[in-house]
Chain A
């Protein structure tokens, strides 16, 4: 039988690759009788969902906005580039 440590490893890998049938069966069997590992499974899944949500939300979930100073600097660089384009076009 798999140890909890091995199960923890497989539960994580399940998020990264397709487990073999044998691995899945051994995992299932262990989870049926081990409450702590089932709890760990739920928590890993929650973490996976959270990471996705966190990385993909463009409102940044509490991240600060671009500072005004950086915004001005970037803007002036964009303008400079636009002016160069105009000059080379004329």
Chain B
């Protein structure tokens, strides 16, 4: 049996990791702080059951994940189908009437190199944040391991898994366009602006 460390050291030890995790998923700093606090208070009550099989941090992140799922369950976001509809129309513009690309996509040169660049991750999170809210939620919930498609559909009021796939496809295409114009081809953009 392992024992949890002194709870009065938790914030110093794990506060930043939990907060960043929560912030990635909630996207709202004050909500993320609330999640961290709830996690610590729940862990406090449950600390006798901490087995030490996993690290303390893994145990705490496990609790945080449940808190986040609960949060999504309780506060279903306002349905904003207008945004999603507008996005659909915008994305369809990229294809002609027979469903072919109107313009070829520009190639991304060695994209993984961007991982080393902190600025890239800022652009990346901004691109996710600019998705219509339900699409962003969908994207994020998919990355929480252990949630089935059915559960995700229930949490976000999506009627069928087929609809979920269609939504994910739009989210990815939007994200692709956003990264293209704000990262991989941003110089091109700048040049065009200067020329124009």
Question: Does chain A bind chain B?
Answer: yes
* A contact set with B: CB distance below 8 Å: 3-6, 8-9, 12-13, 15-17, 35-37, 39-40, 42-44, 46-56, 58-67, 70-71, 73-75, 77-79, 81-82
Mind listing 21 A-B residue pairs with CB under 8 Å? A3-B95, A3-B100, A4-B95, A4-B99, A12-B168, A12-B173, A37-B101, A42-B108, A44-B172, A46-B111, A51-B143, A55-B140, A59-B20, A63-B20, A70-B33, A70-B36, A74-B37, A74-B40, A78-B10, A78-B40, A81-B41
Contacts known (A5-B99, A46-B111); A13 close to B105, Cβ less than 8 A: no
- How near does chain B come to A13, taking the closest CB pair, in angstroms? 5
Most buried by B among A15, A42, A51: A51
CB-based contact B107/A79 at 8 Å: no
Partner of B118 from A51, A53, A61 at Cβ < 8 Å: A61
List which B22-76 residues lie within 8 A (CB) of chain A. 23-25, 29, 33, 36-37, 40-41, 44, 57, 61
The dominant DSSP class at the B interface is: helix
Chain A, Cβ-Cβ closest to B171? A12
Q: Which residue of A has the minimal Cβ distance to B20?
A: A60
Interface residues of B in 158-181 (CB under 8 A from A): 164-166, 168-169, 172-173, 175-176, 179-180
Please give the distance in Å from A48's CB to the nearest CB on chain B: 8
Please measure, in the bound complex, the distance between the C-alpha atom of A51 and the C-alpha atom of B168, giving whole angstroms: 13
Cross-chain contact A71 with B101 (CB below 8 angstroms): no
With contacts A4-B95, A5-B95, A65-B16 taken as known, whether A36 is within 8 angstroms of B101 at the C-beta atoms is: yes
CA distance A38 to B99 in the complex (A): 16
Interface residue B3 (Cβ < 8 Å from any Cβ of A): no
In the bound complex, residues from chain B placing their C-beta under 8 Å from that of A46 are 108, 111-112
Q: Is the CB of B15 within 8 A of A74?
A: yes
Chain A residue numbers with a CB within 8 Å of B124 are 50, 54, 61
Query: Does the CB pair B44–A66 fall under 8 Å?
Result: no
